Amino acid sequence: MNRFGILIVGTFILISSLPATASAGLKDYFVDSQWLDSNRTSVRIVDVRNPALYFLGHIEGAVNIPKSAFLSTRHGTKSLVPTVDEFEKLMDRYGITPETVVVAYAQDDNPYMARFIWTLRFHGHTRSYVLDGGYEKWAAENLPTAVLPTIASPNSGYTVSRSADIRAEGDYVLTRLKNSSFVILDVRRTSEYSGQEVRADRGGHIPGAVNLEWTNLLRNENGIKVLKGEEEIELLLSKAGITRDLEIIAHCQTGIRSSYVTLVLLSMGYNARNYDGSWIEWANCNNYPVEDPHEQASLKPGFPGTPESRLLRKNLSPTRWEQRPDRSTHPYSSGAAFFRYL
């Protein structure tokens, strides 16, 4: 068989092994370590962790694309999806073509891997997946790793042919606040949702939003965080009032955690969008309404805390949060260092 024939057969085998997309399911957006190990020479593996972690050890053949490469700042709002031009240049830089199968990973509970794949999916790159369990699961199973970097060969000519309707902007959310067929899913911590923890100009939540922290979709497997099963996730969503007949807009602080939830929702057949501007945009725009239960409670007689302490709460800005060198010094810290600004 000549080289062309081998290429055709190899491509057919890879496509045949890809998760089916005829009906939605978690495997349409998430792959496990065994699948990746069987196909890793035929896909582009992307490590979105901090470069320092990448150089300490990564999946063999993976390229490192740090989060700064796929997050944009526009009109004062950070962590937005890159524009078409920015995205095309990013794909060319790392040798990714529209036909490339991409699998992204980070730490097991680091949602930036989902944000990268959501970005690809938004720009129409459907052959893209999140590695469930991340690097921790891969390493725990003694699968191939490396310390020397993989150097991608750049290409040119990546063209976005279409964008998927999986993103929402602030005004889109605003015009649907009182629509009964629409629900806002706030996936931040309860302390953020309630207004106790303030990481923007205002605390609280978007009026009418329901709160389901994104980590509730994960379970512990031998000390590693992996996705729960579809039935268990659907039960959680149902209890929160999230059903398939609704249009769902997920958000967090900067659209990172909510991108993970959005992919899970899409994989299970829900009509979902990720609001990537998220709370940092919404709370900092005075034209957008907020509900702040903690602020309302603090105005009642007898509420604990001095006026000075309430002012300190309001002044706990995202910038100050981001500059903290050690997450353990922050009273609301519940994750690794990459959670400083999500």
Instruction: Give the catalytic positions in this structure.
Output: 252
- 65 within 8 A of 81, measured Cβ to Cβ: no
Q: Which residues of 48-80 are buried (b: 16+ CB within 10 A; e: fewer)?
A: bbbeebbeeebbbebbbbebebbbbeeeebbbb
Tokens of 21: 């997309």
From CA 220, how far away is CA 27, in angstroms rounded? 19
Q: How does strand 167-168 pair with strand 271-275?
A: parallel
From CA 282, how far away is CA 31, in angstroms rounded? 33
From CA 4, how far away is CA 336, in angstroms rounded? 47
Is the sign of the CA dihedral 285, 290, 295, 300 positive or negative? positive
From CA 107, how far away is CA 112, in angstroms rounded? 9
